[in-house]
Structure 1
Amino acid sequence: MKTKLKILTVLSLLLFSSCYDFNRKQNELDAESNGKAILLEAESSKKAMIEEAKAKNEAATLEAEAKIKIAKAEAQAEVERAKGVAEANKIIGASLKGNDAYLRYLWITGLKDGKGERIYIPTEAGLPILEAK
């Protein structure tokens, strides 16, 4: 009976140590697996942040390029407007050359219809001065 008890005790100790060793190894494997999962998640998060930064950079670049195109188009439109005004001024100036009677008419009409203060300087003949030199 003593032998059976010794054998049973030895077997129990072996079984217990074997279970303990298995449990320890399993905990190591679980910890290693968890560590790998955390590392993969960190790498994935890092890659996502890098891609997001690249996308923001690309969007900012595209936005800047669009603003430059708009500014160039607006500048070109302003140049075209200025050319139109210059051409209109040229036409108006050419049509008014040698047309003193029409200019006097416009001046007198402006005096009659216009608002604001007017100063008349009396002359010998009682006529207003139309030109001051």
Structure 2
Amino acid sequence: MDGQRSLFGIVMAAGLLLIILITGILVGCPRYNVYQQEMAGRAKLAEAQSSRQVAVLEARAKMESATSLAQAEVTRAEGAAKANHILQNSLGGPEGYLRYLQIQALETNNAKLIYVPTEAGLPVTEASRLPGIPEQTDRN
């Protein structure tokens, strides 16, 4: 009988342990789910704050870049204005500078035909160069 009591005690202890384990799981699961959701919420909050900080830093970098580019453009424009002023004064004023620019354009252009403005500001056309129009010859 001692063996049966001992076996019965072991089975009872195992059953009691099983009941305690099941009770712990039933009580612990909802609490663990709440804990898990709380941790997930904290992780999302930390990620959102980090993303916001990155966005703010990127915006500041873009603003600083735009400011630097604007300052560089202003400096370039001031230099170009000074150079134009020096050229204009050395060429006898605005008319001389415009004539200089026209000569520069003619040198860099590979055009075969150049129209020169007349007194009225209109170009002299060469109608005889058009196909189908006979060329006029001088009859002196």
* TM class by smaller structure: 0.5 to 0.7
Q: Which residue of 2 aligns with 1:88?
A: 83
Tell me whether 1:118 sits opposite 2:117 in the alignment.
no
Aligned partner letter, 2:22: N
From 58, 71, 76, the counterpart of 1:76: 71
Please identify, of 54-63 and 36-45, the stretch whose mean Cα deviation from structure 2 is larger.
36-45
From 45, 51, 54, the counterpart of 1:56: 51
Determine which structure has the larger helix proportion and give its number. 1
Tell me the TM-score normalised to structure 2 length. Answer: 0.57
Structure showing greater Rg: 1
Aligned length: 108
Structure-2 separation of matches of 1:112 and 1:19: 105
Structure-1 separation of matches of 2:99 and 2:14: 119
Aligned partner letter, 2:83: A
- CA deviation after TM superposition for structure 1 residue 45, in Å: 0.9
Cα deviation per residue 1:12-66 (whole Å; 9 max; x = unaligned)?
Answer: 9xx97x9877754542222112222222111111100110011111111111111
Q: Which residue of 1 aligns with 2:123?
A: none
- CA deviation after TM superposition for structure 1 residue 119, in Å: 4.7
- CA deviation after TM superposition for structure 1 residue 109, in Å: 8.9
Aligned partner letter, 2:78: K
From 42, 47, 51, the counterpart of 2:42: 47
Please identify, of 83-92 and 25-34, the stretch whose mean Cα deviation from structure 2 is larger.
25-34
Please identify, of 31-40 and 108-117, the stretch whose mean Cα deviation from structure 2 is larger.
108-117
From 3, 7, 27, the counterpart of 2:22: 27
Tell me the TM-score normalised to structure 1 length. Answer: 0.60
Give % identity: 30
Q: Please provide the CA RMSD for this pair.
A: 3.8
